[in-house]
Each structure stands twice: as structure tokens, then as C-alpha cells.
Amino acid sequence: MQTVSDALCREYRLSVIENPQYGKAKQYGEWRAEQEQRPTWRGLIRTDIDEAIRQAMTERQFFDALRKKGYAMKVGKDISVRPPGKERFVRLMRNFGEDYSLDNIRRRIISQSRPERKNPEQKPEILRARLIGSLKTARKLTGFRALYVHYCYLLGIFPKSRPQQSRKRLHFLLREDLLKLDAITAETRLLIGHRIDTAEQLFSYRDEVNGKISALTEKRKQLYKLQRTAAVKSDPEKAAEVKAQIAALSKELAALRKEVVLCNNIAERSGVIQEKIKAVREDEQIKGKEKCDRTEQQKTVR
């Protein structure tokens, strides 16, 4: 398509980009997300590539690091990687520029004096909390609230004092939801604010909101009719008052409709979250067992 496009441009004496620079162009959605400091899929991939380079001393170690993160790879003129859970491959040089060509990745690896390793002497931060009341009388979160609060903790949404760089080490099954932080946070606030723990409570609240929407919609319809009457049209103050009431109702209706959407999303997402948490735990248990087995083998060899 690029060849045909260039030929047509030359035929009609239009400008042609002779030496296109890869990795420069961005979709508007991605540019907007970067401006708002929200994660993007390309940003997550690039972070993983950079981290794999820093952790490697050879080309083989680089590809092994990516495989451990769940990536599939194809190596040709350009390196193509497929993130876990995605169907399409992403070309590194085409999307991120010349620094991510195979030759330049090799140069970046060779230029390192040592691979990056997590500091084993780094002590975990001690968080202190003050208890008001007693643990015996404190109510524990259950159901949807407990599920969402736990998931927000796994994603690093809170506590706010939690280091942001820890998100880079998230399990690949949780990575996709980094792009949905705003939606998950809004759903969590709705559950906490209205103390919703069960599906019955969720659907009951949704029905209540739908009832309010119907009542307010009917009220706004009557105001629209009033707005078209001769008495209101001839009185500027009355017309402005009716217009303000309609605007207030429209704003309230928009907020209520968002809550209905949140309820529907919670009903759908809660099952997915449970499955992801279960899969992450099972995967971590397998990795922990493999690590113990390797430790035992090393002790036996020694």
C-alpha cells in the first residue's frame, strides 16, 4: 500500500516521504493516554522490552526474559512480539524506532557491564496504621466489596504510598486491567459507597436507579412541553428558569445512567476478576514449587 500510495503521489505531483522514521507516529488515543499519564498497551510492551534488555547479558537471555513474561516472538528483519492474551504481533522497530532493531538491541545488551537484579538487601516498607475500636467489633468486607478491594491492591491502585514501579512486575494476567484503572476504581467506589456485596443487592440497586431515571425522564419531558408553551416563550425569566431545570435534570440523568452501566460492568467483570485471581495464585504456587525444587537440586549438587 505504501508503494502504491507513493506512486500516486508522484503521478499527481504531491509530496512523498522518502525516508519514513519508524516509531514516531502515534494514534490519538495513545497520545492522549500519555498526556494524562495513563498506561497504554504499547507503553507496557516497551517497558517490558527495556526491562528484558537491562536483565540480559546475551541475546538468548533477552528472549528468555520475554518468554518468562508470557510473550511469543518471531525474529526476522524486525522482531515481532505478541503480549500475553493478545492475538496480534507488534513489530518493535516499526512501533518504537531504530533503537529496537535486532542489531541495536544487541548493542544495548553488550554495552552493559552487568545485568539488572532486584536488590536482595532492600527491606520492605513498614506501614503503620491506627486502629479505632476493636478487631472483634470491626466488620470485615465480604462479597463484591472484598473482591474489588483485593483486586485494586493487586493492581497497585492503593494504597497510594505503594511504589508505582511495582506495577511493572505485575503478573501478565493482570496487565490488561492496567488500562482499565479508571473503570475499576469507579466500580469499587460504587460498591463501597452503597455497601453492595451480593448480586441481589447489586441488581436491586440497579433497579432502584432505573426507577429514578424513569421518573426524572418523565419530569424532564413535562418541562420540555412547558418550554414550548406561549406563556414561557413570552417570559424570558421563566424561559431561563425552565431551561436551567432541564439542564439540572439532564446532568442528574447522565450520572444515574453511568451508575447503571457500572452495575452491569460489575456483574460481568466480577466473575472475570475471580478467575484471574485464581489463575494468578495457581501460577505463583507452581513457580514457588519450581523454585524450591531448583534450590533443593542445587543443595544436592553441592
Tell me the per-residue pLDDT of 47-80, one tens digit each, with 9 for 90 and over.
889 989 988 888 889 999 898 888 898 888 889 9
Q: How confident is the model at residue 120 (pLDDT cuts 50, 70, 90)?
A: very low
216: nearest Cα among 170, 272, 254, 260: 254
Interval 174-191 mean pLDDT:
86
Locate 12 and state its grid cell.
Answer: 499527481
Contacts of 197 (CB under 8 A, 6+ apart): 141, 142, 143, 144, 145, 146, 191
Considering the domain architecture, whether residues 54 and 194 belong to the same structural domain is answered as no
Considering the domain architecture, whether residues 104 and 35 belong to the same structural domain is answered as yes
User: Does the residue 164 lie in any domain?
Assistant: yes
User: Does the residue 82 lie in any domain?
Assistant: yes
Q: How confident is the model at residue 130 (pLDDT cuts 50, 70, 90)?
A: low
Considering the domain architecture, whether residues 296 and 175 belong to the same structural domain is answered as yes
User: Does the residue 105 lie in any domain?
Assistant: yes
Chain segment 86-103, per-residue pLDDT in tens: 788 988 988 888 889 988
Which residues in 257-284 are b (16+ Cβ under 10 Å) and which e? eebbebbebbeebbeebeebbeebeeee
**Is a pLDDT exceeding 70 seen at residue 34?**
no
* Residue 56 structural domain: 27-110
Considering the domain architecture, whether residues 81 and 189 belong to the same structural domain is answered as no
User: Does the residue 127 lie in any domain?
Assistant: no
The predicted model scores a pTM of 0.57
Considering the domain architecture, whether residues 184 and 238 belong to the same structural domain is answered as yes
Considering the domain architecture, whether residues 181 and 286 belong to the same structural domain is answered as yes
- Identify the pLDDT of residue 249: 95
- Identify the pLDDT of residue 165: 46
Looking at 110, 135, 157, which one is the last position of a domain? Answer: 110
**Is a pLDDT exceeding 50 seen at residue 285?**
yes
Q: How confident is the model at residue 186 (pLDDT cuts 50, 70, 90)?
A: very high
- Identify the pLDDT of residue 41: 77
Give the DSSP letter string of 173-225.
Answer: HHHGGGGGHHHHHHHHHHHHHTT--SHHHHHHHHHHHHHHHHHHHHHHHHHHH
User: Does the residue 87 lie in any domain?
Assistant: yes
Looking at 110, 135, 156, which one is the last position of a domain? Answer: 110
**What's the N-to-C CA distance of the chain in angstroms?**
61
Considering the domain architecture, whether residues 227 and 101 belong to the same structural domain is answered as no
Locate 144 and state its grid cell.
Answer: 463484591
**Is a pLDDT exceeding 70 seen at residue 158?**
no
**Is a pLDDT exceeding 90 seen at residue 258?**
yes
- Identify the pLDDT of residue 213: 95
Q: How confident is the model at residue 167 (pLDDT cuts 50, 70, 90)?
A: low
